């Protein structure tokens, strides 16, 4: 059995679909932060079969909206003194900025480098986001 020390203060990002932890690590820019990070891949899960977990040690401020965009089923446990003080259940954000890029070569974001890539949630059930400038749908892999 793999044992990773518990987090005394920080975040535990749980219920990540197996194989997606590194993608989340990059989106949250954890490589640029000065904190300890543990990535657990393919942990056993009753709910998912297998899951990934990311443990972040330290009191860090980051925008967690991206996680709701990537996978609204992810849960975040906020830890202080080794105890969960808050459990955050995510949902799809109504808008995301500079998380993904518009693939339309004629979109203003492809021509003007300074324009932010903004997508609005247009269909919650199908998790569809569309570029606010050209209405191109974001295609999930």
Q: What is the pTM of this model?
A: 0.79
Give the bridge partners for 62, in sequence order. none
Token couple for 127: 């998790």
What's the pLDDT at 1? 45
Q: How far apart are CA 92 and CA 119, in angstroms?
A: 12
Please check whether residue 75 is in contact with residue 108, taking contact to mean a CB–CB distance below 8 angstroms: no
List the domains of the chain with CATH numbers.
9-89 (3.30.70.140), 95-131 (no CATH)
Could you report the per-residue pLDDT of 24-51, keeping only the tens digit for each?
Answer: 998 888 888 888 899 999 999 888 899 9
Could you report the per-residue pLDDT of 5-30, keeping only the tens digit for each?
Answer: 678 889 999 999 999 999 899 888 88
What's the pLDDT at 33? 85
The residues near 38 (Cβ < 8 Å, ≥ 6 apart) are 4, 53, 54, 55, 57
What's the pLDDT at 29? 86
């Amino acid at each position: 059995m793999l044992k990773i020390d518990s987090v005394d203060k920080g975040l535990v990002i749980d219920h990540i679909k197996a194989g997606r932890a590194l993608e989340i690590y990059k989106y949250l820019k954890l490589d640029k932060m000065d904190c300890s990070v543990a990535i657990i891949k393919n942990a056993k899960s009753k709910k998912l079969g297998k899951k990934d977990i990311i443990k972040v040690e330290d009191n860090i401020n980051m925008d967690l909206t991206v996680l709701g965009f990537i996978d609204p089923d992810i849960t975040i446990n906020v830890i202080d003194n080794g105890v969960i003080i808050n459990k955050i259940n995510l949902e799809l954000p109504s808008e995301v900025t500079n998380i993904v890029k518009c693939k339309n070569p004629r979109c203003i974001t492809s021509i003007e480098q300074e324009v932010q890539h903004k997508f609005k949630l247009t269909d919650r059930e199908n998790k569809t986001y569309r570029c606010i400038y050209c209405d191109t749908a974001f295609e999930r892999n």
